[in-house]
Amino acid sequence: MWAAFEDALIWAYPWTKAIHLMAVMAWLAGLFYLPRLFVYHCAAEPGSLQSETFKVMERRLLKIIMNPAMEVAWLFGVLLVLTPGIVDWRAGWWHLKMLGIVAMTGFHHMFAAWFKDFLHDRNQRPARFYRAWNEAPTIAMIVIVAMVIGKPF
């Protein structure tokens, strides 16, 4: 049974990789954009039409794009890892890649918690805080892409 599953994974590899990459791109787009929305949301008066509009934008970005994209990226990433011959488990690059993925997932959950603060008009952080965190997913992305493409060790 496992051999049939492995054969299916090998056959589906190009499509698995394509779906994984599309999901990662959508997830990253959200990770780059949500903290930027928080920066602008900080300037809106709580309860104002502008603040309520930001809440709708943030909720839709998180619930309709980011959450499903993260889930699909993880699912198809696991399928890629299970595909025979794709990962050399003796190499060290994949450890650093996984650290980058765990960091991205952590950023996602942090951003979701901050969204709840805005949703309930409890944000206490200044715009510069979110401006700084807007860069964190970029660092994780650089590490992940460098490890996958370069496989330096």
Domain extents in the chain: 2-150
Neighbours of 49 (CB within 10 A): 9
pTM confidence score: 0.93
In tens, the pLDDT along 115-138 reads 999 999 999 999 999 999 999 999
Average model confidence (pLDDT) for the chain? 96
Identify whether the C-beta of residue 40 lies closer than 8 Å to the C-beta of residue 54. Answer: yes
Residue 126 identity: P
In tens, the pLDDT along 62-118 reads 999 999 999 999 999 999 999 999 988 899 999 999 999 999 999 999 999 999 999
Identify whether the C-beta of residue 22 lies closer than 8 Å to the C-beta of residue 82. Answer: no
Residues whose CB is less than 8 angstroms from the CB of residue 51 and which lie 6 or more positions away in sequence, other chains included? 41, 44, 45, 118, 121
pLDDT of residue 1: 86
Residues whose CB is less than 8 angstroms from the CB of residue 124 and which lie 6 or more positions away in sequence, other chains included? 117
The residue with tokens 């930001």 is: 54
Residue 123 identity: N
Identify whether the C-beta of residue 64 lies closer than 8 Å to the C-beta of residue 27. Answer: no
> Treating both helix axes as pointing N-terminal to C-terminal, what angle do 93-119 and 136-150 enclose, rounded to 10 degrees?
160
